[in-house]
Structures are given as structure tokens and as C-alpha cells.
């Protein structure tokens, strides 16, 4: 019995979904497309028992250590608690490695891997004192950072991270792009040499044009973005040709396009169904992200299984609106702002329908010229009548989740209002289960 059939028949969380099901005589894609999207609120409402398949005992699983309850950081929504099965997660990661030639070669499962992330997301927290290297080692992993706010990074602390990369010599460096970019700005400013890992994997955040630019100034290593979530595991991996491939052995992905006036049918949100989690049946989970389908549906790397994306467009929580009400994804904003020079970091807040606050961290002396250029670019994007306020900051702090949000609107934007209802039931999937 497949995951959808089991979930509809056996699990309390999906009892109300039975009314949407056209029945087992219909193609599986049509049955999935008829279902609603699973939200974080529904997970909270039915957690934990509503998602555990028959034959599994939550107490026994917790007592044996096979599962645990894990709370997410909640970037796009309030935090949610999930059932975590490490074996399932590791297998999802291993399957994703095959989608990039560098990770397929380097990621053996016993390879050294350094992780540069906010410890609120992964690792060990210590803001007051530094943690010795041996206490930040966990099996083959080295956690480079224990500070929850990079404002706490001193030159000595960044020297330590640089030196530890040289000592540990990781085959793979997994990094939050904003944190790696900050470290790279420091390394470039000091002219320090740094160890070059075989592959840099960017994760946890959207990597901006500025992040890539600053990282590339220091590292010549291949760079790939990995995309997934706590609920769904590893969903897409960027290949060596730059496209994103669905981890189709591990998950099903349904695509729901936006209305044509908001980007056309190649841009839309995704709903993800993990296929192999023995403890936690998540069906059509709204991960809160927008993606861009690759128009050709082909890739020079030769991989063709599942959905192929040309880009991740950013979170729905980072969308903004033009004066005419057109939806602007983070990628569209970032591509425009990426034309600026001398910018270390930025954040855009849309405070009203026609007002935008743009925060910049920059070391350039001529702030007036940068202000004018930034304002002109934003008016071309949002409309000539847009009220643009450019502000300069010494640093931009992460959200309470530990992650950076590059853009946001200070009023609700319900992505459901921007989906093309005439096509929303025509979901695409890479796996029929």
C-alpha cells in the first residue's frame, strides 16, 4: 500500500482529506493533485499521533532513540515540532549526493565535513566563551561556529575558523551563505590564504548575488546549493551544470504555478511528500518556497529523473509587491540589487503598498552615489512612484531563527491569492507513489 493510500485510510491527520480523493481507480498524479496542501498549522494540530503510520509506537520509538522530537527554527512561520528519524535523514542526504558529480565523488559517508552555520540551526551554542575544537567535533563533522550572532565574531575568532579549515582539511564545507560570505570578506581583507575544500555546499538560506561574489573572491572550490527542510529531507540538489534536480528517490514534488501576471507558469510553489520516512507521513507539505521550472526540462549533466529547476526563487515570506500589485520574488529583487557594487549585506522591508526601506552595509566612501543608484534600481523594479528610503547599517542581524531574511513585507501576502487556480490541480511530480 502506498503512502497516500495508507495516510488517507489510517491516519487521523488526513481523515478530512478523504472527501477530496477521486479514488484508487484514478491515476496517482490526479489523486495527489486533488488533495489540499499540508500546512505547519495542521502539523501542530495533529502532532504527533496523526502522522505516525500503523504498527509504530511513539513511546517505544522515543525510548529506544530511534526517533526524537525536533523543533524547527520557524523562518517563514512560527516554529513547529516534528518527528525526527536520523536514519531516514541520512539516507535522504546520501541519495541527494548522486545528483552532483562532485558530491558523488567526495561524499563517501566517512568524509571529513566542516559546517559553518548558526548553532541555533545546527551545532553547539556558546556566546560567552569559545568552545575548544575537540568539543566541536562530532564523528566526521567539525562545527566551526558556536555564536548565535555573527556580530560576536572577533578577528581572532575568524582567524580560528580559517586555521581550523586548514587543520581539518574537509572534503566538503557545508555553509550558511551569509556566514560564509562574512568570513570571506574578512579573509579577503586580510589577504589570508585558506584551505580549499573539494566542494562547498550552501544550505539553510537563500544565497544572494553578493554572497556568491564574496565567496568566489576567496574560494575556487565548486559550489552547489542543497535544498530541503526538516519535514521533507533533501528535496533538490544543484548539479555541476547549475540546475536543481529533484531527489526523486526520496520525495515526490507537486508544482503549483503562479498566475501569468506574477511570473508565468514556470514559477510556482512546491508541495513535497517524503517517500521513505517509516515514522512520519507528510503529504503535500507546503515548504513555503517558490521555484522556477527549467523550460527545457533537460540538463547538460545528463540527469533527467524528476523535476528540473533552473532556480530557487526564494521563500514566500520574502516576496514583496510592486505598486501595481505584481509579486516580486526574492530572486528577482536580488538580481536587480546585485547590479550594485560596494555592498556587503542588504535587507529590504516593504512597509506599505508604496513604501520600501532598504538597509545596506557598505564600506564605500561615496554613500550618496550608492544611495542614488540603489533608489533608481528599486524604482525601476517597484514603480516610479515608490517611496524608497535607503539606510546604512554597521551590520544586519539574523532573525530569531538564526537565519537571514533578505526581504519581507510588513503586511500579509497570502500566496494562495497569486496561484493560478485554473492550473493549480495540474501538479507535476517526479515519482508516482
pLDDT tens for residues 327-339? Answer: 999 999 999 999 9
Residue 417 in any domain: the answer is no
Q: pLDDT class for 264, splitting at 50, 70, 90?
A: confident
pLDDT tens for residues 209-260? Answer: 999 999 999 999 999 999 999 999 999 999 999 999 999 999 999 999 999 9
Same-domain status, 384 and 270: no
Same-domain status, 135 and 184: yes
Cβ-in-10-Å burial (0-12, 13-18, 19+) of 286 comes to buried
d(CA 332, CA 70): 33
Same-domain status, 305 and 359: no
Same-domain status, 144 and 291: yes
Task: List CB contacts of 15: < 8 A, sequence separation 6 or more.
Answer: none
C-alpha neighbours within 13 Å on the C-beta side of residue 147: 15
Same-domain status, 124 and 161: yes
Which grid cell sits at 307?
Answer: 523535476
Query: For residues 324 and 383, is the Cβ–Cβ distance under 8 A?
Result: yes
Which grid cell sits at 146?
Answer: 558556536
Element (H, E) at 46: helix 40-46
d(CA 181, CA 211): 5
Residue 425 in any domain: the answer is no
Which DSSP category does 88 fall into?
H
Average pLDDT over residues 334-357: 97
Same-domain status, 310 and 329: no
Among 295, 315, 335, the domain boundary falls at 315
Based on the structure, what is the number of domains in the chain?
2
Q: What percent of the chain has pLDDT over 90?
A: 90
Same-domain status, 214 and 127: yes
Q: What percent of the chain has pLDDT over 70?
A: 96
Average pLDDT over residues 291-295: 95
d(CA 72, CA 47): 14
pLDDT tens for residues 160-197? Answer: 999 999 999 999 999 999 999 999 999 999 998 999 99
Q: In this structure, what CATH number is given to the domain that contains residue 333?
A: 3.30.300.30
Radius of gyration (C-alpha) of the chain in whole angstroms: 22
Dihedral of CA atoms 209, 317, 294, 93 in degrees, nearest 10, equals: 90
Query: For residues 171 and 199, is the Cβ–Cβ distance under 8 A?
Result: yes
Residue 15 structural domain: 3-315
Three-state secondary-structure class, residue 353: coil
Q: In this structure, what CATH number is given to the domain that contains residue 278?
A: 3.40.50.12780
Nearest to 236 by CA among 197, 201, 209: 201
Question: Which residue is it, cell 507537486?
Answer: 254
Same-domain status, 254 and 361: no
Same-domain status, 246 and 339: no
Residue 224 in any domain: the answer is yes
Task: List CB contacts of 172: < 8 A, sequence separation 6 or more.
Answer: 103, 106, 107, 111, 112, 113, 114, 197, 198, 199, 200, 201
Query: For residues 287 and 272, is the Cβ–Cβ distance under 8 A?
Result: yes
- Provide the pLDDT for residue 432: 39
Nearest to 69 by CA among 181, 231, 191: 231
Backbone angles phi, psi at 388, to 5 degrees: -110, 120
Q: Specify the pTM.
A: 0.94
- Provide the pLDDT for residue 71: 87
d(CA 81, CA 74): 10
Same-domain status, 393 and 268: no
Same-domain status, 144 and 251: yes
Same-domain status, 228 and 358: no
Among 300, 315, 330, the domain boundary falls at 315
pLDDT tens for residues 61-79? Answer: 999 999 999 988 655 456 8
Amino acid at each position: 500500500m502506498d503512502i497516500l493510500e495508507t495516510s488517507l485510510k489510517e491516519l487521523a491527520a488526513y481523515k478530512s482529506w478523504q472527501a477530496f480523493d477521486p479514488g484508487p481507480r484514478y491515476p496517482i498524479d490526479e489523486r495527489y493533485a486533488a488533495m489540499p496542501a499540508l500546512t505547519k498549522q495542521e502539523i501542530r494540530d495533529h502532532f504527533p499521533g496523526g502522522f505516525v503510520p500503523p504498527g509504530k509506537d511513539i513511546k517505544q520509538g522515543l525510548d529506544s532513540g530511534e526517533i526524537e522530537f525536533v523543533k524547527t527554527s520557524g523562518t517563514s512561520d512560527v516554529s513547529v515540532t516534528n518527528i525526527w528519524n536520523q536514519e531516514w535523514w541520512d539516507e535522504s542526504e546520501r541519495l541527494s549526493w548522486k545528483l552532483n558529480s562532485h558530491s558523488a565523488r567526495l561524499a563517501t559517508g566517512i568524509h571529513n565535513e566542516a559546517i559553518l552555520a548558526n548553532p541555533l540551526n545546527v551545532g553547539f551554542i556558546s556566546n560567552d566563551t569559545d568552545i575548544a575544537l575537540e568539543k566541536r567535533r562530532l564523528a566526521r563533522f567539525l562545527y566551526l561556529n558556536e555564536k548565535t550572532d555573527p556580530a560576536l565574531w572577533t578577528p581572532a575568532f575568524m582567524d580560528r575558523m580559517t586555521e581550523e579549515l586548514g587543520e581539518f582539511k574537509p572534503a566538503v564545507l557545508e555553509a550558511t551563505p551569509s556566514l560564509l560570505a562574512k568570513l570571506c570578506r574578512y579573509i579577503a581583507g586580510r589577504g589570508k590564504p585558506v584551505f580549499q575544500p573539494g566542494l562547498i555546499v550552501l544550505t539553510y538560506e537563500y544565497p544572494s548575488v553578493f554572497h556568491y561574489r564574496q565567496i568566489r573572491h576567496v574560494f575556487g572550490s565548486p559550489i552547489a546549493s542543497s535544498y530541503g527542510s526538516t519535514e521533507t529531507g533533501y528535496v533538490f540538489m544543484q548539479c555541476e551544470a547549475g540546475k536543481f534536480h529533484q531527489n526523486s528517490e526520496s520525495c515526490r514534488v507537486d508544482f503549483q504555478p503562479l498566475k501569468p501576471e506574477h511570473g508565468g507558469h514556470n514559477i510556482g510553489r512546491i508541495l513535497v511528500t517524503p517517500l521513505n520516512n517509516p515514522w512520519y507521513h507528510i503529504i503535500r507539505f507546503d515548504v513555503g518556497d517558490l521555484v522556477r521550472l527549467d523550460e527545457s526540462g533537460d540538463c547538460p549533466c545528463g540527469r533527467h529523473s524528476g523535476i528540473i529547476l533552473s532556480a530557487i526563487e526564494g521563500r514566500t515570506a520574502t516576496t514583496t509587491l510592486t505598486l501595481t500589485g505584481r509579486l516580486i520574488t526574492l530572486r528577482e529583487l536580488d538580481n536587480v540589487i546585485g547590479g550594485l557594487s560596494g555592498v556587503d549585506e542588504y535587507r529590504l522591508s516593504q512597509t506599505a503598498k508604496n513604501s520600501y526601506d532598504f538597509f545596506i552595509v557598505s564600506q564605500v566612501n561615496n554613500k550618496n552615489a550608492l544611495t542614488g543608484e540603489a533608489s533608481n534600481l528599486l524604482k525601476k523594479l517597484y514603480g516610479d512612484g515608490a517611496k524608497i528610503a535607503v539606510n546604512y547599517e554597521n551590520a544586519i542581524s539574523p532573525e530569531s531563527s538564526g537565519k537571514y531574511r533578505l526581504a519581507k513585507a510588513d503586511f500579509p501576502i497570502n500566496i494562495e491569492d497569486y496561484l493560478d487556480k485554473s492550473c493549480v490541480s495540474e501538479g507535476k511530480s517526479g515519482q508516482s507513489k
